[in-house]
Structure 1
Amino acid sequence: MIRFEHKNLRLAAAAAGLIIIGGVAGLALARFGPGGGDPVATSAGEREVLYWYDPMTPGQRFDKPGKSPFMDMQLVPRYADEEPGAAGVRIDPALVQNLGVRFATVRSGTLEGDLTASAVVDYNERDVAVVQTRASGFVQRVYGRAPGDVIAAGAPLADLLVPDWGGAQLEYLAVRRTDDAALIQAARQRLLLLGMPESLISAVERSGRPRTTVTITSPIGGVIRTLGVRAGMTVPAGLTLAEVNGLSTVWLNAAVPETLGGQLRVGRSVEVTLAAFPGERMSGRLIALLPEVASDSRTLTARIELRNPGGRLRPGMYGRIAFGGSSTPALLVPSEAVIRTGQRNLVMLAGEGGRYQPAEVRVGREAGGQTEVLAGLREGERVVASGQFLFDSEASLSGVEARSLEQARAPSAAPTPAPAPAAAQTPVYRTSGRVQVIEGRSVTLAHGPVPALQWPAMTMNFTVADSVPLAGISVGNQVDFTFDLVGGKATIRSVTRRETGQ
């Protein structure tokens, strides 16, 4: 009887032990994932972990915690409430302040209509005179002209002997003695058809003697572009002796970006400033927009006509053209806030809670450092005006989708504007670590987490401020230290060696 009771007691104890073990196993199974380690789904009220990642290689995901295979640091959890989505990517406000990021508010305003472009002075190709021979002959004399000479209207170029005119002039003089008006008129008309100028025929009538030498003169004043006459040469009828370009007006050929060509209208007045005459403003008129666009620079040529009193403006001079225009209302953002990818234009929206999201925009004109927004933004939204490329890179790595133009049209698409960062002193952070390497004023530390910066424990390099002594600090020491972060550079501001046992 006693043995039986003792045996029952042993069975009861064994059963109780199994119950306790089962309870512990059930609790462990409820708190930990099937692979062991940290919890994947915690109890109510705690954040759910989706995966772990290395902040230096955010594209690689891991299903459990541990040390990163890429860096000497622990993996960081990605929580469900941080999963990329419409809320955008979160950037630590302290880091934003340390980087000196500037913000701008989308506003309604007026965009100045002035458009400026560089221009080069050129000849007026519509003011050109071509001097040709009207009959074959011989050059008896030239007047020392050369290409590039500026001459006045009526300036002599060469004396030409035309033997064929002698006989026709003698016949005309004989006919004049008949007093037959009809016959005289017919003979005079024949001289004109032979190429004799009116001044030469009048001289023959006054002198009563034939004149076979004629002086070739320039019909306009200007610059000699080409000169093809030399003493003693034989010239056939119709040979070009010279080309003269007038200088009373000149052209300015302005290179206007292709995207701005639609703003120009022929006939509008323009303001001209030339490098040769600083401070002097001249007035011209847009007379033509050439039909071709330069394939290399993607610009079209606007032709401006400008008066040239005294011949001061010379072809080849450089100047600037300002096309006047009235201001128009528009939705504006700073031009530096627009990220132009070549396929689309983006801005970084600043939302509440330190979150940022790229937004696609359609832009229009640009003037005075401001860009017109045609679609994609609403008045009052805040955008990043400097350092936006860093935000865009972080958003791309995190898989954040840009807000589309269609989403921006919805009233709920506008995020709550984030308050502007308040001016404050550079924050200082405190942690501890073990000294790995000391090289001059540079120290490598294996430090613990920095919650204020959302940094996990890692090994990294710090710069030691000149005012911080390193005497007594050596490799292997455990130290407490403070540091600040300015422009992405961590600088130690104080360091204290821990005594053994602390």
Structure 2
Amino acid sequence: MTHFRFLALASFVLISSTSQFSLTLPISGGAHAQTSQEDTIQKYTCPMHPHYISTDANGACPICGMDLVPAAKKTSSETGDGSISVAPEMIQTMGIRTAPVTISNFGKTLRAFGTIETNERLENAAVSRLEGWIEDLRVRAEGDSVRTGALLYRVYSPDLISAQKDYLNSLSIGNDNRIAAVRQRLRSLGMQNTAIESLTQTQKILERVPVYAESSGTVSKLQVREGDYVKPGTKILSLQSYAEVWIIARVPESDLSLIDTGFPVHLNFPSAPNAPAEGRINYIYPTIDPKTRTGELRIEVDNGSGFLRPGAYADITMYLEKQDRLSVPTESILRDSHGAHVIIALGEGRFTSRKVEIGINAQGQTEILSGLNPDELVVSSGQFMLDSEANLQEGFSKLNAPIAASAGPTTPLSQLPIDAETLSQLDHLIDMALYFHEALTDKYKIDPYFLDPALFTTDTLKIRFANTKLVPILEESALALRAAKASREGQGLASNLARLTSSLKPWLLDGSPIHYRDAGLYLFQDNASQRLWIQEGSTPNNPYGQSDSSPIAWPDPMESIDTPALQQRESTPHANHH
């Protein structure tokens, strides 16, 4: 992966504020004494924006201007069974959605890419067994077609002439044992049975012994020329048949255990649309590439039509057998150092975390091997905010940062109250754009679980910066990230990289361009498709293909700021974080 990382993927830190208002998520956590003290304070909220909480009885909502109304003093609680309770208005604000645990009929679909290679079993090599000179060479260049029994060349060899004389002498004597011995000597010197039979019938020495093709094929290597002198062991030429070819595919290490020899596969060849669409796995290589963490498998394909050419690419799809499986939506699965788990909706706003054992995933569903029962409800959206009680006590206390009350729909991105910690959260999204770019240029699949921290970031920042220009950027970025979970490589990932970078462009150019310029990042545009990407280094590495690209210069935000505004901005705590 790229060496550039703004922050660790699992790090979520927000700075608290001493402002008179704060975002208080109604979810339990923290010390009991502190909770009891907070319960005695009357708080006020906006009917249209319930996430805004204030202690000012005569205040107004900074987002919509409506008068504040009294908020319930206690909107959540910690239960004795380890679950948590969330107020209904916060369930809506956090976008929490649930899905039932169901029994679905599906099998896993594995995608892989491979290259067409020659079938090594169909290669034959002609090697000299004697000393002599090549004459009457009939094969002149690589690519010539040869049929079985066709004359390849003739060889002049004094040793072979001497052996032929001994053979004719043995024939005249009529000693069968001697005839057999001399005949075997002729074979060992490289004289084929066809030439020996001709010698036997004509009784005339062949000064230039013919060599015939023992199999048909195409000349893949020609290592001699007319008149060349050869010795025993000299390679003359290689014949390769392309009637069958191999496809060498690379499969992630984690998927190798799901496949076996004999499995049918579906094939798609971009360079040969009329080629056979089916093949079978006939060998799985026993080693793993330590750099890519992939294993190789070999697929044998009939190529009697000749459409398939070694070196071309193949798109491979493998379907595992469908069967009934207990499953949940894949997006509901969370992972931590202890393994996979989900958030269970217990009803009446109560949630709890439960560890599960998962199997295969396909068609947006993940198999549950243990830990859940049919018809239970799991949280499929917003679950990052309900990850576990331990995470709630730590994470939600940090989410009590002030919302951007001083900002509104017309506030420029460059003037949003962004502090250093909030900027580091936004850098999660930039990090994902770098991750997608690297996966495309290095040709590997992204890990969908690497996207979870960035999705968590979009959920929390949308609450803090509600009704500002940052929200559309966060929403469109989240859509691109969720789509990338399903399209982990190839053109699908390329489309989501373009979508993600396009959604981030306003923030990159208008929000904090100097921050990203100083970090060594460069923004480029593909000239053919107009799609954007961001990368480290000034030499463009186009993830969309081989077409030309153009850099997009980082603007200098100071040019559009007059002196009074500049002085006011420099006095704010976040002014130096760019």
TM-score between the two structures when normalised by the length of structure 1: 0.61
Q: Structure 1 residue 190 and structure 2 residue 185: aligned?
A: yes
Q: Check the 8 A contact 1:50/1:80 in 2, yes or no.
A: no
* Alpha-carbon distance, 1:158 to partner: 3.7
Please show how residues 24-39 of structure 1 align to structure 2 within 5 Å.
Answer: none
1:266 Cα deviation from its structure 2 partner: 2.0
How many Å separate the matches in 2 of 1:307 and 1:457? Answer: 66
Query: Within the alignment, does 1:315 sit opposite 2:260 as a pair?
Result: no
Q: 2:344 aligns with which of 342, 349, 352?
A: 349
Change (3 A) 1:487 1:98: farther
Counterpart pick for 1:220 among 198, 215, 219:
215
1:381 aligned to 369, 372, 376, which one? 376
On the 8 A contact 2:42/2:73 being kept in 1, the answer is: no
CA gap of 1:182–1:87, structure 2 versus 1, over 3 A, is closer
**Structure 1 residue corresponding to 2:362, chosen from 354, 364, 367:** 367
Give, as a single letter, the amino acid of the residue that structure 2 aligns with 1:298. Answer: R
1:50 equivalent to 2:45? Answer no
Aligned-partner Cα distance in 2 for 1:117–1:124: 20
Partner of 1:275: 270
1:387 maps to a residue whose letter is G
The one-letter amino acid of 1:273's match is N
Aligned to 1:236: 231
The correspondence for 2:119, drawn from 97, 112, 124, is 124
SS at match of 1:323: strand
Distance in 2 between the 1:93 and 1:156 partners?
88
- Identify which of 93, 96, 118 aligns with 2:91: 96
Tell me how far 1:390 sits from its aligned partner: 3.4
Residues 227 and 243, structure 1, Cα contact 8 Å, conserved in 2: yes
The letter of the residue matching 2:133 is: F
C-alpha distance in 2 between matches for 1:119 and 1:459: 50
Q: Is the 8 A contact 1:113 1:325 kept in 2?
A: yes
| Range that drifts further, 177-186 or 319-328 | 177-186
Deviations 1:213-236 (A, max 9, x none): 234444333343433213333211
Aligned equivalent of 2:406, options 461, 464, 478: 461
Decide whether the 8 Å contact of 1:119 with 1:318 is kept in 2: yes
Give the whole-Å Cα distance in 1 for the aligned partners of 2:39 and 2:96. 35
Asked if the contact 1:88–1:400 (Cα under 8 Å) also holds between the matched residues in 2, the reply is no
Deviates more, 1:187-196 or 1:125-134: 187-196
Out of 299, 303, 313, the residue aligned to residue 304 of structure 1 is 299
Contact 1:141 1:159 in 2 (8 A): yes
Amino acid at match of 1:255: R
The structural deviation recorded for 1:123 is 1.4
On the 8 A contact 1:119/1:253 being kept in 2, the answer is yes
CA separation in 1, counterparts of 2:402 and 2:319?
61
1:39-118 equivalences in 2 (<5 Å): 50-52=32-34, 82-83=77-78, 86-112=81-107, 114-118=109-113
Match of 2:194 among 190, 194, 199: 199
Equivalent residue in structure 1 for 2:391, among 387, 391, 396: 396
Aligned to 1:470: none
User: Is contact 2:117-2:311 (8 Å) kept?
Assistant: yes
In structure 1, distance between residues paired with 2:351 and 2:331:
17
Mapped pair 1:286 → 2:268: no
Q: CA deviation at 1:458?
A: 8.8
Higher CA-based Rg: 1
Give 1:373 deviation, angstroms: 0.8
Q: Which residue identity does 2:230 align to in structure 1?
A: V
Contact 1:51–1:64 (CA<8 Å) still a contact in 2?
no
Aligned to 1:135: 130
Structure ranking higher in strand proportion = 1
Which deviates more, 328-337 or 220-229? 220-229
**Structure 1 residue 132: deviation in Å?**
0.5
Q: In 1, Cα distance between the equivalents of 2:179 and 2:406?
A: 110
Shift of 1:464: 5.3
What displacement does 1:199 show? 1.5
Describe the SS at the equivalent of 1:311: coil
1:250/1:305 contact within 8 Å kept: yes
- TM-score, normalisation: structure 2: 0.54
Letter in 1 for 2:385: L
Structure with the bigger percentage of helix: 2
Structure-1 residue corresponding to 2:569: none
Listed as ranges, the matches of 1:413-428 within 5 Å are: none
Q: Write the distance in 1 (CA, Å) between the matches of 2:197 and 2:305.
A: 35
Where does residue 263 of structure 1 map in the other structure? 258
Matching residue's letter, 1:239: T
Query: Secondary structure at 2:191's aligned position in 1?
Result: coil
Contact 1:113 1:328 in 2 (8 A): no
The unaligned stretches of length 5 or more in structure 2 are 1-30, 44-52, 57-70, 412-459, 469-578
Contact 2:139 2:153 in 1 (8 A): no
Distance 1:245 1:386, change over 3 A: farther
Unaligned residue ranges in structure 1 (runs of 5+): 1-48, 54-60, 402-454, 467-484, 493-502
Contact 1:112–1:326 under 8 Å retained in 2: yes
Q: Who is 2:249 aligned against?
A: 254
Counterpart of 2:123, as a letter, is V
Instruction: Summarize deviations over 1:181-234 as a string: whole Å, max 9, x none.
Output: 555444434323333211212222333321132344443333434332133332
- 1:176 aligned residue: 171
Picking from 180, 185, 203, the partner of 1:208 is: 203
What secondary structure does 1:398 align onto? helix
* Cα distance in structure 1, aligned partners of 2:41 and 2:213: 94
Seen in structure 2, the aligned counterparts of structure 1 residues 183 and 277 have a Cα distance that, compared at 3 Å, is closer
**Cα distance in 2 between the residues matched to 1:273 and 1:326:** 20
CA contact (8 A) 1:153 1:219 kept: yes
Aligned-residue sequence identity (percent) comes to 29
Q: Aligned AA for 2:33? A: Y
Q: What one-letter code is carried by the residue in structure 1 that aligns with 2:209?
A: V
Q: How many residues align?
A: 362
Please tell me whether the aligned partners of residues 252 and 305 of structure 1 are also in contact (alpha carbons under 8 angstroms): yes
Q: 1:51 is matched by which residue type in structure 2?
A: A
